[in-house]
Chain A
Amino acid sequence: MTTQPHPGIIKAPGQIKNLVPPRPLRPTVKMSQTRLLDLVKTQCRIFSMNFNPQRLRLGNKVLRQRLRGPALAAWYPKKTVAFQDLQNTYKPLGLTTFDEAEDDREEAIQMSVTNILHAVWQYVDTFLLSSAKLRGKGRPKKKRTAAGKVVPDIGFRRRSRTPD
């Protein structure tokens, strides 16, 4: 029993084959070993490669590698010209600029001097008044009973129990 081809498939292999051009034949030229070596040697000389017909391990691949150092060293941004450099350049000529940082520093010094003076003044004030009591900062006066006796101050708990 023969199988019928599907009506959708077009079978025309012969036509397709004819469209492909025939592959050209390679010319076979016999070359002597010495001539081939000479060729390789010349090739190496021209392209500045290492001529190594015995294939010895000469480590030339290390010399062929590119240096990675400059690329690695250029990763972080380097310091460029700063405003400070400009100031330093023109300072010997007597040209000064407004330096905000320096201004802030001087202001801070001024502030600290004022603070110290203030502290000194406070100390002198305290010394002149001789005690805290005179400035109304002393301990509160003790509680007095009807008999005119002073309740002994011996702790918070005991005092709370005493009748008024």
Chain B
Amino acid sequence: MSKAASLFHPKRLNLSGFVNTRVIRDNNKRMAVEQHEPERQALRYMIRNTSLPGRVRAQAQLQLSQMHSYTRPTQVKNRCVASGHVRSVFRDFRINRFQFRMQALSGHLPGVKKASW
């Protein structure tokens, strides 16, 4: 049975800029990943350490697999900060290609200039 994602809802929304449900959900996942990362890494270390007894390693495997999916770093998706889109998001600017074009043309991105030759 899957555990409720509402465990990771924040009491108060701490986001500014473009916000929609999917952005909030992704942000919740990011917070959960940050919070549970040491725990996950400890379990991963135990699983990979062959000097530990097999029972301990098996228990660690079980515990890791039973953690909530929101604590998994692969759940995180880079979304556009200005529009919430997921596709073709520039990692350096955190916005997608269309927002990048609009903002660059209007001069909101310092150092970005339209190439012409």
Interface contact A69-B48, CB-CB below 8 Å: no
Interface contact A76-B48, CB-CB below 8 Å: no
Interface contact B45-A75, CB-CB below 8 Å: no
Among the listed stretches B1-9, B15-23, B98-106, B108-116, which one makes contact with chain A, having 4 or more residues with CB under 8 Å of it?
B15-23
Size category, B interface: 20 to 34
A68 to B34, CA, bound (A): 8
Q: Is the interface of A mostly helix, strand, loop or mixed?
A: loop
Interface contact A72-B15, CB-CB below 8 Å: no
Asked whether A58 is an interface residue with its Cβ less than 8 Å from the other chain, the reply is: yes
Interfacial chain B residues near A69, Cβ < 8 Å: 33-35, 37, 73
Interface contact A67-B41, CB-CB below 8 Å: yes
Asked whether B94 is an interface residue with its Cβ less than 8 Å from the other chain, the reply is: yes
Interfacial chain A residues near B45, Cβ < 8 Å: 59-60, 62-63
Asked whether A77 is an interface residue with its Cβ less than 8 Å from the other chain, the reply is: yes
Interface contact A57-B33, CB-CB below 8 Å: no
Interfacial chain A residues near B16, Cβ < 8 Å: 77-80
One digit per residue, 1 when the CB lies within 8 angstroms of any chain A CB and 0 when it does not, for chain B 64-80 equals: 00000000010010110
Interface contact B49-A79, CB-CB below 8 Å: no
Interface contact A57-B94, CB-CB below 8 Å: no
Asked whether A73 is an interface residue with its Cβ less than 8 Å from the other chain, the reply is: yes
**Cβ-defined partner of A79 (8 Å) among B14, B37, B76:** B14
Asked whether B30 is an interface residue with its Cβ less than 8 Å from the other chain, the reply is: yes
**Cβ-defined partner of B81 (8 Å) among A63, A67, A77:** A77
Interfacial chain B residues near A36, Cβ < 8 Å: none
Shortest beta-carbon distance from A100 to chain B in Å: 19
Within 8 A of A (CB), among B14-68: 14-17, 23, 26-27, 30-31, 33-35, 37-38, 41, 44-51
A68 to B73, CA, bound (A): 9
A68 to B94, CA, bound (A): 17
Interface contact B44-A59, CB-CB below 8 Å: yes
Binding site for A on B (CB under 8 A): 13-17, 23, 26-27, 30-31, 33-35, 37-38, 41, 44-51, 73, 76, 78-79, 81, 94
Given contact pairs A69-B73, A76-B26, A77-B81, a sample of 19 additional A-B residue pairs in the complex whose CB atoms are under 8 Å apart: A57-B49, A57-B50, A59-B45, A59-B47, A59-B48, A59-B49, A62-B41, A65-B41, A68-B37, A69-B34, A72-B76, A75-B30, A76-B30, A76-B81, A77-B17, A78-B14, A79-B13, A79-B14, A79-B15
Binding site for B on A (CB under 8 A): 56-63, 65, 67-70, 72-73, 75-80
15 contacts between A and B (CB under 8 A): A57-B49, A58-B49, A60-B45, A63-B45, A67-B37, A67-B41, A69-B35, A70-B34, A73-B30, A73-B31, A75-B27, A76-B26, A76-B79, A79-B13, A80-B16
